[in-house]
Amino acid sequence: MANIEALPREDLSDLTELLGMVEASMGFVPNSFLIMARWPELLKSFAGMAGLILSGGSVEPGLKQLVAFVSSTASGCRYCQAHTSHSATHRGVSEEKIAAAFEFESSDLFCEAERCALRLAAHAGMTPNASEDAHFDALKEHFSAAEIVEIVGVISLFGFLNRWNDTLATELEEAPFKFGQAVLSTQGWDAGKHTPVSMGSE
């Protein structure tokens, strides 16, 4: 049970347009947003920032979702793991690649540029933050400074969401829950647990 209940969408007529855009992008309105709607100004500001970080810039949107997925995995947020992996499929990432994201260091499905981005995501998602200068040295071989800012933006966005959803015990919606069960459960994903999934060797 969530620590704060999501508001019914029908009670949020002032947010109809925003919630409609979220639904068009994700296929549903996440409960995290319906809780955040208790502070409408926060939801509006957050939705704008999230849209820019995830859809703007030049880093490929599928990679951004994988970065979000891996950083959420390192953080241990099951809600965000389900959301980001489910969203990755809508950005053209195969289910095979999503499932292999736990072994990004060794899987042939990932190129070296992707490994560099996901390596930073895994380390920056840890508490305490375990990112190092070497992670950025490797990133600079594949990404511009502006693109690295985009990647860190994704990690930081989901740092907020990981804390938000784990703290509030946000109830996971049906679509990402079913996706998590189908695609992630073989890798140890369990919506009822909040311990981080073990990542591959680094």
Structural domains of the chain sorted by starting position, each given as residue range(s) with its CATH number in brackets = 58-187 (1.20.1290.10)
pLDDT of residue 187: 78
The pLDDT confidence band at residue 192, using thresholds 50, 70 and 90, is low
Spacing of C-alpha 134 from chain mean position: 24
Per-residue pLDDT for 202 more than 90? no
Amino acid at 93: V
Each residue's pLDDT tens digit, 75-112: 999 999 999 999 999 999 999 999 999 899 999 999 99
Tell me the longest C-alpha to C-alpha distance in the chain.
Answer: 49
What is d(CA 141, CA 13) in angstroms, rounded to the nearest whole number? 48
pTM for this entry: 0.92
